[in-house]
């Protein structure tokens, strides 16, 4: 049984589920869903050339999107560009591990809801899935906290965080907290481990 995270419909066959995603939710798909839809072996008469072009377009979008996330941390370019200055450590060996943990991210007193579709299946190495926002999944080696957060649309440095149109900088009037299991960590170098409980807090954005 395949349940759609976007509308709640259920499908017995994977092909029917993927065609539903392609036809009903083309603008809501995460990266993994886009890839699966692009690889769909459609038997309903869509020309192979059309599927090939669609897959190529998705791959191109993923490449460009990955570069933008790497450079700007994902969401609002105006805010996240303010934190550009270092490269994000990239994970490797996709599929060699399957780890889980919890995470809360609180921005100016509001906790993010990772069960929302915009946070589901956004990256191969780190993601939330099946509409569950309480447990993250890691599927590769060397997934740092910075990588995880940036895959969710944030900009991250050791002492700063960007989210939406706001930038938070510790030491400039903002509070920025990165903790794992109650201990402060550097998100740029800390590699997530099975069972880790992550806490991120950002308060009082600075004027840029």
Domain that holds residue 37: 2-72
Phi, psi of 18 (to 5 degrees): -70, -40
Q: How many residues does the chain have?
A: 208
Question: What domain count does the chain have?
Answer: 2
Tokens of residue 188, six digits: 């740029």
Residue 208 in domain: no
Tell me how far apart the alpha carbons of residues 26 and 36 are, in angstroms, rounded to a whole number.
Answer: 12
pLDDT digits (tens, 9 = 90+) for 123-176: 999 999 999 999 999 999 999 999 999 999 999 999 999 999 999 999 999 999
Secondary structure of 73-85 in HEC code, one letter for each residue: CCCCHHHHHHHCC
Count of C-beta atoms within a 10 Å radius of residue 82: 20
84 and 52: one domain? no
83 and 182: one domain? yes
CATH (domain of 117): 2.170.130.30
Phi, psi of 132 (to 5 degrees): -95, 120
84 and 68: one domain? no
Secondary structure class of 115 (helix, strand, coil): coil
- 8 A C-beta contact, residue 163 and residue 107: yes
91 and 155: one domain? yes
H or E element: which one contains 59?
helix 48-72
pLDDT digits (tens, 9 = 90+) for 77-120: 445 555 655 689 999 999 999 999 999 999 999 999 999 999 99
Tokens of residue 129, six digits: 């899935």
């Amino acid at each position: 049984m395949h349940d759609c995270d976007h509308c709640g419909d259920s499908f017995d066959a994977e092909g029917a589920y993927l065609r539903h995603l392609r036809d009903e939710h083309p603008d809501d798909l995460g990266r993994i869903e886009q890839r699966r839809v692009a690889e769909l072996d459609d038997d309903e008469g869509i020309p192979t050339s059309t599927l090939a072009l669609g897959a190529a377009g998705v791959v191109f979008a993923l490449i460009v999107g990955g570069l933008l996330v790497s450079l700007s941390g994902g969401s609002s370019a105006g805010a996240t560009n303010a934190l550009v200055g270092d490269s994000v450590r990239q994970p490797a060996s996709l599929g060699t591990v399957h780890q889980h943990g919890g995470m809360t991210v609180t921005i100016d007193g509001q906790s993010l809801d990772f069960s929302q579709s915009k946070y589901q299946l956004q990256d191969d190495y780190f993601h939330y899935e099946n509409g569950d926002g309480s447990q993250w999944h890691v599927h590769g080696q060397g997934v740092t906290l910075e990588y995880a957060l940036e895959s969710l649309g944030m900009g991250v440095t050791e002492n700063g965080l960007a989210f939406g149109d706001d930038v938070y900088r510790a030491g400039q009037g903002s509070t920025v907290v990165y903790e794992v299991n109650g201990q402060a960590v550097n998100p740029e170098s800390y590699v997530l481990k099975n069972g880790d409980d992550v806490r991120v807090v950002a308060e009082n954005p600075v004027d840029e």
